[in-house]
Chains A and B, each alone.
Chain A
């Protein structure tokens, strides 16, 4: 060590820098180890979703059981927010399931996960009651993640239902796109899941990175004085407004049909049945509330293409429109873009009657234990 570094000023500087940094180091630790996990969040989703540790298996912390009064994502902490108590369970892989039996696998987005829905109201749970067969919710996730996940190779499902909210359908990845990321995550996720200590460390590190107070303060400031992005017509909130009902080109619709056909083919190769379940946008069903009152044409066009190609699908749009427009049954919460528990029941009912799905009911349930892992409370 040189003479210059022996100056007592070094110690003084380090002491002062430590003092300066201390509150910013201590506070996240207080958030993680002292305050309740959902102290600064408005939904369980944000509370238990993986923030930055992209090496964990699933999208949420594993083995969680949590109840919380949630607000919708489109106007949280505003007078428009509609509070609702919900309950969540996540399995050992960090997906929203009580166990990991998987005769039927539901791949999808936040609608399938069940934003603002209680555990028993999620599509997986309701469909399970219809089919009397285990339905596993693998959401939010993609087909590529499914293909890269070892446990589904070891114990494959009989049927895979790929679902997507209408607005995200054009973004569905073709088979193989970013598959390497899914394989890497499956590998690292298995390592982390293999040891409770590793799981605890990964979850704790991720929770520290969340900085709840900081994000909550920024969000509050943005809401009070920032750029307002809420799209509100007749006291109903929308994610995209008129943009959601835009026309897609013929080439784009064909490209999406190609992607979905690819899903069917790759699953067929593994001896797995495939059904596509598009979920209409709130804007699609509530189009009369929008300024343009323009009807969406995308889903019927896509269904026609899928019909031509022999890709199995379930069309919810006509039933949803009839229910909302003729019988005034709300299918989406006022303050949220996801479907509600009524829409889920309707969807499950239609889905269960689809020939490919219904045949599962006809085949007797296999008796062998297909349980990979059961939910267990972490505490």
Chain B
């Protein structure tokens, strides 16, 4: 079930009503049934994987709990079983064909016989998210950071909690499991805040992301039909599309959980205002980047190793992050690029500071900050080309065409606006997208010094209600209601 579907607009109020009508100690049943229904409405058969994954991790957790924290060797087989099961499922459904095709290509190039079969498997929705969530649970239990969950129903709910089941945030057991045992009172202010958060998420998704998607898809699915200026605009638009799509999903997930009394972790904090790539990763998809930090980067040694090893750890972490996003070389290049950015930033830190000082940027902090923000945005956009392109060849074509604008700016003078700038989608979609992005970034800027929500709440009732009605009408008029899937569903 999609959040931006009619079904969800019926499903959610029904679940919330039943949830609050049910006694505290039985609410997990309502949420578990709702979560499984939510997942089954996509493809019922794949719920089996969710159930099996849940049972294995629950059993492994309980078995590890039988041994005291200091007897880790006795816990280890159960940890390995959990990791093997989760990674095995992930490997089979998400990566088998990728590695198999790559091996076949290599064998063909080397003229070596190759006979491994290819499987026609549909990627189970949300598998990358819930397997990572359960793996973190098993690892935390193994290290003794959390106690194993005794209640199978609550544990199943932890794995399948519908607001964040298919696209995160990837919750930690330490944060969510405890909340699933608590009783949450109906609190007007919290419910309204949750609904407002959901509304903001819907706005980002339906108005910004889905309008931008029309232009981005037109260019990226037919790159040879557009010239450099279209490629540049489409890439910048994609940066905002994927941000609004994914952070919109997170807002809806966090808001929906908040309505019912649960606090999910923040997943985005205005990432495009970052002054460095490492800051970007502290603000973008926080639940995933902290997962990789805690369960891959630090176990590899983090930065408490010799320099070359530190760079290696960083690079590998981002390469794996790229692979996590998709079984495609484009994602690998995207991850490798970010790994390279981070290593390059560390290696050249002194020289860059010296250069900034030499040109006088350090004397003008505000300007320096915006130069940094724009530089990071440019680097991130460059990497998005690989993330969005349908294949590596398309990515290089788009880069080449984009670069040609710089070498031949005269092509800007002979623009067919509807084709080049509006990408054949018309002025309305272009204008709505630009205005909506400006509105969103204005909200982000205001929220650095206070809450927009609070700002609205302080106004007289007629102003507040006018804002609400205008917001609803704007979404109805300018939103795209084609039930576009969220981009992160494919991961």
Known: A9-B187, A13-B188. A222 touches B428 (CB 8 A): yes
Q: Is B378 an interface residue (CB 8 A)?
A: no
List of 10 A-B pairs having minimum Cβ-Cβ separation, nearest first: A9-B188, A227-B426, A225-B428, A226-B428, A226-B426, A4-B185, A4-B186, A225-B427, A7-B186, A5-B20
Report whether A9 and B23 are in contact in the complex, using a CB–CB cutoff of 8 Å. Answer: no
Report whether B21 and A20 are in contact in the complex, using a CB–CB cutoff of 8 Å. Answer: no
Residue of A nearest to B214 (CB): A227
Report whether B186 and A9 are in contact in the complex, using a CB–CB cutoff of 8 Å. Answer: yes
* Cα–Cα distance between A9 and B21 once the two chains are bound (Å): 14
Residues of A within 8 A of B472 (CB): 20, 24
From the candidates A13, A221, A228, name the one contacting B192 in the complex (CB within 8 A).
A13
Report whether A9 and B426 are in contact in the complex, using a CB–CB cutoff of 8 Å. Answer: no
Interface residues of B (CB under 8 A from A): 20-24, 183-189, 191-192, 418, 422, 424-429, 431, 465, 468-469, 472, 476-477
- Measured CB to CB, the closest approach of chain A to B152, in angstroms, equals 24
Report whether A4 and B426 are in contact in the complex, using a CB–CB cutoff of 8 Å. Answer: no
Residues of B within 8 A of A9 (CB): 186-189, 191
Report whether B425 and A227 are in contact in the complex, using a CB–CB cutoff of 8 Å. Answer: yes
Report whether A218 and B191 are in contact in the complex, using a CB–CB cutoff of 8 Å. Answer: no
Known: A4-B20, A20-B468, A225-B431. A12 touches B188 (CB 8 A): yes
**Chain A 1-14 interface mask (CB, 8 Å, partner B; 1/0):** 11111010110110
Q: Is A217 an interface residue (CB 8 A)?
A: yes
- Measured CB to CB, the closest approach of chain B to A3, in angstroms, equals 8
Residues from 202 to 225 in A contacting B, C-beta threshold 8 Å: 214, 217-218, 221-222, 224-225
* Cα–Cα distance between A223 and B101 once the two chains are bound (Å): 48
From the candidates B189, B425, B469, B477, name the one contacting A217 in the complex (CB within 8 A).
B477
Residues from 79 to 98 in A contacting B, C-beta threshold 8 Å: none
Residues from 250 to 278 in A contacting B, C-beta threshold 8 Å: none
Residues of A within 8 A of B20 (CB): 2, 4-5, 10
Q: Is A318 an interface residue (CB 8 A)?
A: no
Report whether A221 and B188 are in contact in the complex, using a CB–CB cutoff of 8 Å. Answer: no
Residue of A nearest to B469 (CB): A23
Q: Which of A2, A222, A226 has the most CB of B within 10 A?
A: A2
* Cα–Cα distance between A180 and B468 once the two chains are bound (Å): 46
Residues of B within 8 A of A13 (CB): 188, 191-192
**Chain A 132-148 interface mask (CB, 8 Å, partner B; 1/0):** 00000000000000000
- Measured CB to CB, the closest approach of chain B to A214, in angstroms, equals 7
Report whether A221 and B23 are in contact in the complex, using a CB–CB cutoff of 8 Å. Answer: no
Residue of B nearest to A211 (CB): B476
* Cα–Cα distance between A221 and B428 once the two chains are bound (Å): 8
Report whether A2 and B424 are in contact in the complex, using a CB–CB cutoff of 8 Å. Answer: no
Residues of A within 8 A of B424 (CB): 227
List 24 A-B pairs, Cβ < 8 Å. A1-B21, A2-B22, A2-B23, A2-B24, A3-B185, A4-B184, A7-B186, A7-B187, A9-B186, A9-B187, A9-B188, A10-B20, A16-B192, A20-B472, A24-B472, A214-B476, A214-B477, A218-B477, A221-B428, A221-B477, A222-B428, A225-B426, A227-B425, A227-B429
Majority SS of interface residues in chain B? helix
**Chain A 214-254 interface mask (CB, 8 Å, partner B; 1/0):** 10011001101111100000000000000000000000000
From the candidates A224, A226, A228, name the one contacting B429 in the complex (CB within 8 A).
A226
Q: Which of A4, A13, A218, A226 has the most CB of B within 10 A?
A: A4
* Cα–Cα distance between A214 and B479 once the two chains are bound (Å): 13
Residues of B within 8 A of A217 (CB): 477
- Measured CB to CB, the closest approach of chain A to B89, in angstroms, equals 38
- Measured CB to CB, the closest approach of chain B to A19, in angstroms, equals 8
* Cα–Cα distance between A10 and B189 once the two chains are bound (Å): 11
Residue of B nearest to A229 (CB): B426
- Measured CB to CB, the closest approach of chain B to A213, in angstroms, equals 11
Residues of A within 8 A of B192 (CB): 13, 16
Residue of A nearest to B185 (CB): A4
- Measured CB to CB, the closest approach of chain B to A354, in angstroms, equals 45
Residues of A within 8 A of B429 (CB): 226-227
- Measured CB to CB, the closest approach of chain B to A17, in angstroms, equals 8
Known: A13-B192, A23-B469, A217-B477. A5 touches B425 (CB 8 A): no
Residues of A within 8 A of B21 (CB): 1-2, 5
- Measured CB to CB, the closest approach of chain B to A265, in angstroms, equals 40
Known: A24-B472, A217-B477, A218-B477. A226 touches B188 (CB 8 A): no
Report whether A7 and B428 are in contact in the complex, using a CB–CB cutoff of 8 Å. Answer: no
Residues of B within 8 A of A23 (CB): 469
* Cα–Cα distance between A214 and B478 once the two chains are bound (Å): 11
- Measured CB to CB, the closest approach of chain B to A284, in angstroms, equals 27
Residues of B within 8 A of A16 (CB): 192
* Cα–Cα distance between A355 and B476 once the two chains are bound (Å): 56
* Cα–Cα distance between A302 and B428 once the two chains are bound (Å): 42
* Cα–Cα distance between A214 and B476 once the two chains are bound (Å): 8
Residues of B within 8 A of A7 (CB): 185-188
- Measured CB to CB, the closest approach of chain B to A309, in angstroms, equals 41
- Measured CB to CB, the closest approach of chain A to B467, in angstroms, equals 12
Residues of A within 8 A of B428 (CB): 221-222, 224-227
Residue of A nearest to B190 (CB): A9
Residues of B within 8 A of A20 (CB): 468-469, 472
Residues of B within 8 A of A218 (CB): 477
Residue of A nearest to B430 (CB): A225
* Cα–Cα distance between A23 and B469 once the two chains are bound (Å): 9
* Cα–Cα distance between A221 and B191 once the two chains are bound (Å): 35
Residues of A within 8 A of B469 (CB): 20, 23
Residues of A within 8 A of B188 (CB): 7, 9-10, 12-13
- Measured CB to CB, the closest approach of chain B to A126, in angstroms, equals 41
* Cα–Cα distance between A218 and B473 once the two chains are bound (Å): 11
**Known pairs A4-B20, A225-B427, A227-B426. 6 more at Cβ < 8 A?**
A4-B183, A9-B186, A9-B189, A23-B469, A221-B477, A226-B428
- Measured CB to CB, the closest approach of chain B to A6, in angstroms, equals 9
* Cα–Cα distance between A24 and B475 once the two chains are bound (Å): 13
* Cα–Cα distance between A42 and B24 once the two chains are bound (Å): 56
- Measured CB to CB, the closest approach of chain B to A2, in angstroms, equals 6
Residues of B within 8 A of A12 (CB): 188
* Cα–Cα distance between A214 and B21 once the two chains are bound (Å): 36
